[in-house]
Structure formats: C-alpha cells, structure tokens
Structure 1
C-alpha cells in the first residue's frame, strides 16, 4: 500500500506539507531504488533464517515504517524535516516489501503441488497490486495528508501480527522440486552466464529465455509501478481530479486481479504447458495498450481511459504469475529467479520515474505541467521491449521434472493421475512407470 499511497494525493500533499512534487515522487521512487539491494540479499537471508523468521523481519520493518512516517507529520517540524522523516519511513517499508514478493514463488513451491502452484504464486503476487489499488483508493478519501499517513500506519501495524501464522514448509514435500534445496544465489548468477560448475539450466536456450523474461517482466512491472506513482501528475493537468485518477489506477489493478483469479487455476489444471504461448498472445496487447495512452490521455476522455486501464490490468496481472512461474521453471531456483525478476521490475520503475519526472512540461506549457512527453517515452520503450517475447521458447524444465517424478513415484497417486490426464490432453500415452 505504501509505494503508490502518495501518487493520488501528490498535489494536496504539496500544498499542505510544503513539499515539492519532485520530493513526493521520491516517496514512491525510494521503494524502487532500495528494492534492488534488498531483493538481491533476500535469497541469502532465506538460507540463513528460513521463510518464517524472515517474514517476522518484514513485519517488524513494516511497523517501524508506519510510525517513523507518521512522526513526520508533527506540526512543529519544518517542511524539510517533515519530508525527511516520511522519506525514512518509506525507506523502511522499501525493505519490508520485497521479502514477501520475492519469497512468494518459493512459498508456493514448498507448499503446493502441480494442481495449485501457479494459483498460489498468483495469490501471493497479487497481494502487492491489491494493496496498491487499496492504497490509491484510500489515500485521497480518508482526509488530509496527515490523517492519510496515520491511516496507513494503523493498517500496517494491524496487519503485521498475521506473520505468526506463516510456516516454512509442510512435513512432506508436495513435489520433487519442493524436496530439493535451491542452490546459492551466486550459483544462479553464474548459471545465467553459463559458468556454473553444476548447471541447473538445461541449455543456452533456457538462459536466453530467462534474459528475455527478465527484460519483459521488468519493463511491464516498471511501467505499472510508474503509472501508479505518477497517476495524479499525469491526469490532473488534462482535467482529472485526484479521485478520478485514483479510480483509474485502482481499475487497472482490480480488473487484473479478477482476471488473474480466473486464469491462474486454468494454467494449473488445463493450460499447464501453454505459459510461453499465452505470453506471446497477451504481452503484445499489453504493449499496444501502454502505447495508446499517448493519444488517450486528453481532456474529457474518461470512458476510453477506463477501457485502456481494464485492458492493461487484465493482461498485465494475468501475466504476472506466468512470468514468475516461467522464471522458476527455467532456472529451477524459485527464490533466486523471483529475486532477479522483481529487482528488474523495480529497476525499470526507478528509471521510468526519473526520466518521466524530468520530461514533465513546464508551467508555461499547454496544458501546464503536462506529461505528454513522458507518455511518449514510456509507451515507445514498452512497445520496443515487449516484441522480444516472440523470441521466447519457454521450455518448462522444472514442471517437466516434477511430472516425470510423479509418473515414476507411487508416493502421490493423486498428482500422478493429474499428470497422466495432462499427458492425454497433450496426446501422450500417460503410462505409469514402476518405482525405480
């Protein structure tokens, strides 16, 4: 909730707190900047602490962030001191957020079999954009800027104790991959460049595919995060108030949530080997939608903008768990691949926000302070990168190994039957091998 919280109220916060729009942009951008080192350290912390203890660390950071941020609203502070404390609170939240995002695919690998793994990844991944959508809706509705920051702090503190319900893994691994320890993060980095002594990536083709997924995933996540942070600054100069801007951002995320809830179980049970095909279908549509904002962000064009937000939301958030699962399947290192993909998303978001903030028109432009050039940059960049998806092969090596193990093992008859059924759907024999 914290990373886009100040986007819809940017202009109100500037007038009430004495901050500049550039400072307010950094309240969202700091999360992308600090996400990068945090995400790359999390795989090491997972090995050291495990999922449960690492979740406790995230909860503690979230509570600290809540009240350091609120301390910046004390009326006796200067505007610079006030901004400094709110900025520091955002920094603590920046270290908490990636813990849960990066570990989502590893959690689903630890706990869920082939019938539910993609759905579980989707649910954990969707928690972040759902929080963003709620944040965009709430922040302009709960009162002035100080009250808004207080509400965010109360929510963060109230939700933190739920981490006591988290456990690391079940007594019996649900799949073959869940029974294996991921290699160190440094091993994955060496594997990507073909230098690992005991490679888990099946071929140079798999390495190329992972690089393509990283670039496309990073660009699309970065574009979505950037739009969430800059929504109000993009929309207000052409005549849309903060409430409408917040609804547009929330529409993007909530329609995407509905689409992801519907499609993720299909990828678990029906379209299990169609992740790459789906990517080639949806990603170009998504690129075209981002490009269309260049012409759509105009006065009195509300209906068209909500349609575009729906197309972006449905396509982008359907692709979110697909990208994460493909990364896991290619690398056979759930937390490592997730770390790289989310780091790329936040790196691209960080770059986009800096560039688009710089491209904002001046007060003498028509309309004043418009972000037309920013939309041209973002739409063109996204469209160029998403075309790489047509070069993706996307062989799902981890899933193939899990299915082979399910065929040859009598330990999980239900999963074994599911694999046989999937084989028949793909024209295979679905035979059962004896236990080796």
Structure 2
C-alpha cells in the first residue's frame, strides 16, 4: 500500500480506467449464473439432465460464492485490491474453458455434467471478487461528490452482465455453441484487469486514506466486542448494529429474489406457453430497467439526496416488495404486457437499491470490503434457499398446467414482503460521510486545502 500524507487530498483521472475495468469484468463474471436459465429446458434435453440438475449450474455459483465472499476482504487486507483482481481473472479464464470442455460429445453424461459444474465453480470464484471490491475501489479513488455514483456503476455491472447473459445464451439455438460463446466473451475480458490500479498516491478523502480493513474486526463490532467509542472505525453503536443487520437481511432477500428469477425464468414461464426467448427478454427487462433507473438516480445521491440514503432505501424496498407480491397474479398465460410492467418495476427499484444498500453498509460499518462481503454473502445465501425451495414447490407433471410453479411464486412474494417489513426500523446515520466532512473542514481550517 502507498504511504498517505495527511496534508493533501487529490483525485486522479486514471480512476476512470480502473472503473472501466471493474465494470467490464463485473459484467462478464456475472454472466455465468443466469446463463443456463433461459435455455434450461434445452440443456436438460441436450445433456440428458433433469431440470434440478440444470438449476444447480446456477445454484453452485451461489454456494461457492459464500466462502469466497468471506475470503475476499481477508485476501485484500493482506495483498491488496489488484492481487485479488488477478486471482479473479485467472479463475474466470479457467471457468470459461473447463465449462466448454464439458460440451465434448465424446464424454458421458456424468462427465459432461462434472465439467460443467467445475467450470461454474471457478466462475463462482471470479464473480464475488469484482462485486465485493467495488465499494472499496470507489472509496479509495473517488471523493464525496462521486463515490456513490462510482459504486452504482460498478454494482450495476453485475445485473447488466446477468441481463446480457440471459439475452445472449438462447441466441445460438444450440446449447454447446452457447457455452462456447460464453468462453470467448470471458477470455476477451481478461486484459481489462490491467486498467485497475491498487490505490492513488494521495487519497481523495479521509476514508480513502485508510488501508483495506479485514472482516474479523467488523464481525467483532457487530456482536459488541469493540467497547472503545474512541475507535471510530472499530466501534458500532447498538443502533448501527441493528441497522446493518436489517440491511443484510433486506439486501439479501431482494438480491436473492432477483438472482432466483434469473435462474428459474424459463421454468416459471414455459409451462404457461412462453418461449425461452421471451423468458430471456423478461429476465433482461428486470435487470436493464434497473440500469436505466440507477444511472438516472445515483448522481442525485452524491449531490442532492446526500444525507437521505436510509429514507431512499425504505421507499424503494416498499415498492419492490409489493411488486414481487403482485407477480403471483401477473404470471399467467397471455399477459405478457402485465409481466413486462411488473418485472420493469422490480428491476428499477432493485437495481437502484443496490448502490444505496452497499453505500449505507459502508456508512454504518466504516469497513467497505467487510460490509460488501456480508451483503453479497446474504444475497447468495437467500438465492440458494429460494432456488431449492421453489424447485421443491414445482407442480407435478399431471398438474394443470404441468410443472407449473405457482406455489413457488406465492412463497417468493410472501417471504420477501415479510422480511422487508423490517426496513421501517432503520435509522441509517451516515457516519463515514460525517467523518469525512469533519476531517475536510478541519483541513480547511488549518489551511491544508
């Protein structure tokens, strides 16, 4: 890590090249988890697999994500952001071609499936690297007027990648060619890692001057083991611990719901007469509508709604949980317009809430890497739970319509609403921003800026 000087804060233009690297790699590493959702029925037929086995190609990403999410801030605190990114791209490259090796027709059914799973496993190592390090990168390179926007741009890269994956995977019309395209895209993204720098010579803010924090101090703070209130970056008040716990739950439920919809899109809609291509478009609509909304709103959080992240979170959570509940009635035959409308609302609110939740977690904990790791850990834990439960709730082949997932939609909507009610108890004091503002004012009084 560079040595920081307390007598100057600066911004560097090369922060934007690193931002581009995070965006491209974040998008590409996100493609693998929903890639098989729109083509799940074709995958089952071509590789002689059950739908549950195909679902595990997405679910394994969430399972492996859990331990990797815990390891990322630990590795980063020891070896830095760039070393973590190098590990991520190596895993991405391995994932791409091991996965493609599983498409060889000379392999047995078991052999093909084993290679597909191993490829997805390595993909699950690369994805959390660029998700979790995003808030840390924005904190390290960007100031108070652009930090939330940078976090937004990096965080929405993941759903954009998921949307592109859902759009692209059905296009070849052949599952083996589809997996080859994923391998080529993954390989082409590797050089973007060289755009990412470790840290600027001089930090942009007081928070940006601090070295990456390990996860263990945050876990200790959450259970009240840090007793010194003088330790601004170790001590969390009772209200802060409550707030962050609620954010972990709500963020996890909403992220898990969106991930699950991406994995199960075709299985939810095909029994009702919708094509795989339509399923892919609906999944992409959820994520791309969120991109538009997030781009429009993130600069407002940096410059207008600077101190209102908690209120914003409450409003967005109320809207998106209601939309998830309404999906119970919206998913029916011949109502494609209504489906697009509900899915667009879910996407706009959910993706906009991503940077808000991530930044609010950083504000409450003053540990950007640790808080991001716990939030994304929660999202993938809920995704695993949702996929398993909703798969078990699939109707029988003799139901009307056969293999419909109406019960799964009921579980999904009701569970999300019940968990999201807790958001009303968040106070959400933005402690990190208050520290940065105070330090900036002190520097001005001393004539350092």
- Place the TM-score, normalised by the shorter chain, in its bin: over 0.9
Counterpart residue number, 1:36: 66
Does the CA-based 8 Å contact 1:293-1:375 persist in structure 2?
A: yes
- CA distance in 1 between counterparts of 2:393 and 2:236 reads 43
- Please state whether the residue corresponding to 2:80 is helix, strand or coil: helix
- Cα RMSD, aligned residues only: 1.3
Return 5+ residue gaps in structure 1 as ranges. 411-431
- Please state whether the residue corresponding to 1:272 is helix, strand or coil: coil
**1:378 alignment partner, one of 390, 394, 412:** 412
Counterpart residue number, 1:414: none
Counterpart residue number, 1:205: 239
User: Offset of 1:181 from its aligned partner?
Assistant: 2.6
- CA distance in 1 between counterparts of 2:124 and 2:191 reads 19
Normalising to structure 1: TM-score of the pair?
0.93
**2:170 alignment partner, one of 131, 135, 140:** 140
Change beyond 3 A, Cα 1:337–1:74: same
- CA distance in 1 between counterparts of 2:268 and 2:126 reads 28
Counterpart residue number, 1:254: 288
What does the per-residue CA deviation read over 1:270-314, in whole Å, with 9 as the maximum and x for residues that have no partner?
101011111111111100100011111100010000000110011
Change beyond 3 A, Cα 1:285–1:173: same
Structure 1's consecutive aligned runs of 4 or more residues displaced over 4 angstroms after TM superposition are 432-436
**2:192 alignment partner, one of 162, 179, 188:** 162
Does the CA-based 8 Å contact 2:214-2:369 persist in structure 1?
A: no
- CA distance in 2 between counterparts of 1:203 and 1:128 reads 32
User: Offset of 1:182 from its aligned partner?
Assistant: 4.2
What does the per-residue CA deviation read over 1:176-218, in whole Å, with 9 as the maximum and x for residues that have no partner?
1111234431111010011125553441000000000000000
Counterpart residue number, 1:45: 75
- CA distance in 2 between counterparts of 1:12 and 1:289 reads 30
Residue 257 of structure 2 is aligned to residue 227 of structure 1: no
Normalising to structure 2: TM-score of the pair?
0.91
What does the per-residue CA deviation read over 1:231-284, in whole Å, with 9 as the maximum and x for residues that have no partner?
000010011110001000000100100100110000001101011111111111
Alignment of 1:16-165 (within 5 A): 16-165=46-195
User: Offset of 1:105 from its aligned partner?
Assistant: 0.3
Counterpart residue number, 1:418: none
Counterpart residue number, 1:405: 439
Counterpart residue number, 1:421: none
**1:189 alignment partner, one of 205, 208, 219:** 219
Counterpart residue number, 2:423: 389
Give the aligned length: 415
Does the CA-based 8 Å contact 1:6-1:139 persist in structure 2?
A: yes
User: Offset of 1:369 from its aligned partner?
Assistant: 0.3
Return 5+ residue gaps in structure 2 as ranges. 1-30
Residue 294 of structure 2 is aligned to residue 264 of structure 1: no
- CA distance in 1 between counterparts of 2:336 and 2:44 reads 25
What does the per-residue CA deviation read over 1:79-115, in whole Å, with 9 as the maximum and x for residues that have no partner?
1111110111000000110000000000000000001
